[in-house]
Structure 1
């Protein structure tokens, strides 16, 4: 669980909060009216978050690249009044 602090108090204690994050390994959530605004995390935590984002992006790209075209079933074309279908370039 992260340490929460109001933004007005965080302004006054910024140097101390930075030390808590860097040397104490804490995560600090700065709030306004009780709602989270920002989080202070160490540079190492940020690198881990960035690596997770990149891994998730790669997974999405792999998933999308494996999607294949599927021809519409004749009954569905008739049912929905579809008169044409998309064909990839080079498809016969």
Structure 2
């Protein structure tokens, strides 16, 4: 699963986020108003994604979207603070 971070926080922590991606093997999703905006992935991940046939790219995106929709509930305030998450994504059907 990708680490999500608001764009305002990502600006301040860009060097750390790059290190997490390059050395920690993480994927980072930068959000704006709780919606995914961009993703930081390693060059190796990008090469693998670009090597997929065109139809499979859409299948990967669909799979990730469905995983996010069925994943466990959002972490509690303690976990958000522990991981430095200032916001969380909520789907259109959640209050």
- TM-score, length-scaled by structure 2: 0.56
Unmatched runs of 5 consecutive residues or more in structure 2:
57-95
Describe the shift of the 1:50–1:16 C-alpha distance in structure 2 as closer, same or farther (beyond 3 A).
Answer: same
Task: Give the structure-1-normalised TM-score.
Answer: 0.58
Unaligned runs of 5+ in 1: 57-92
The answer for the alignment partner of 2:43 in structure 1 is 43
SS at the partner of 1:30? strand
Give the superposed CA RMSD.
1.8
Instruction: Report the equivalent of 2:8.
Output: 8
Which aligned segments of 4 or more residues in structure 1 are displaced greater than 3 angstroms?
Answer: 53-56
Which is greater in Rg? 1
Aligned length: 57
TM-superposed CA distance for 1:54, in Å, is 5.6
1:55: how far off? 8.1
Relative contact order (C-alpha < 8 Å, sep 6+): which is higher? 2
